[in-house]
Each structure stands twice: as structure tokens, then as C-alpha cells.
Amino acid sequence: MALSEREQLLQVLKGELAFLEGGAYRPPMSWRPILIFEDSPICKSVPQSSCSEVRCALLRFVPAKEREAQTPCRYIVLNSKGETVDSLYRTGTNEELQTAVRNWLQTSIKQLEC
């Protein structure tokens, strides 16, 4: 039996929350940081493809004016302050970014479950 679009989205968001809570975004010992959403299982981007071409599940949360950006998921508004992954990369700490993303994921999951 095929899952509804809502159920699929719930699975994607719950998977991302598990990925985050499992410590996957902790600062690595590698040469480059792990990027929120972009380096997780949620990102189905193929090199040389845009997010809209691969129909990313997160695209529905991106403001319309940012959907053509190279990495639109960085512009999802995470909280009432208007913070995004992009703005927190520039002004916040890794802990602040992860907290904002965790809270956004939990809130989005709760809204979909109602």
C-alpha cells in the first residue's frame, strides 16, 4: 500500500530528526563541516541537478522567492525570529543551529500528525 504524501513527509522529517539526534551534525574531524540537510539522507540531490528537479521533500517549506536558490533548504524559516539555516551559519553557533533545526523538525512533525 502506497503512503500518502503526508505520511511520506512525516517519514522524511522523522528520519532527519533521528539523524540530527544521533549526532550526525556534530563538528567532524574532517576537512569540512557537515552541512545541515545537504549532507543528510533527506537530501536526494544528484550532482548537477536542482532541488526542484529531484522534488525535494523540504522544498514545500522554502519561501517561494528562495526556491530557485542553489540550496533552497538553507532558507527554510526555522522560528519566529525568522532565522534560517543560512542566517545561523553566518551568525550562530553550531549548537544554536542544531537547536533551531531540532525545534523546527519537532514542530513540523507535530503539525503533520494532527
Residues 13-54 have pLDDT tens digits of 999 999 999 988 876 676 777 889 888 887 754 555 566 555
Q: Is 85:101 a contact under the CB 8 Å cutoff?
A: yes
Q: What is the dihedral of CA 111, 113, 50, 69, to 10 degrees?
A: 10
Residues 6+ apart with CB under 8 A from 46: 54
- Domain count for the chain: 1
In a 10 Å sphere around its CB, with 0-12 CB exposed, 13-18 middle and 19+ buried, how is residue 38 labelled?
middle
What is the residue range of 37's domain?
Answer: 5-113
Task: Tell me the pLDDT tens digit for each residue of 65-100.
Answer: 999 888 899 999 999 999 999 999 999 998 999 999
Q: What angle do CA 72, 111, 38 make, to 5 degrees?
A: 25
Instruction: State the pLDDT at residue 54.
Output: 54
Q: Which of 28-32, 56-60, 106-110 has the highest mean pLDDT?
A: 106-110
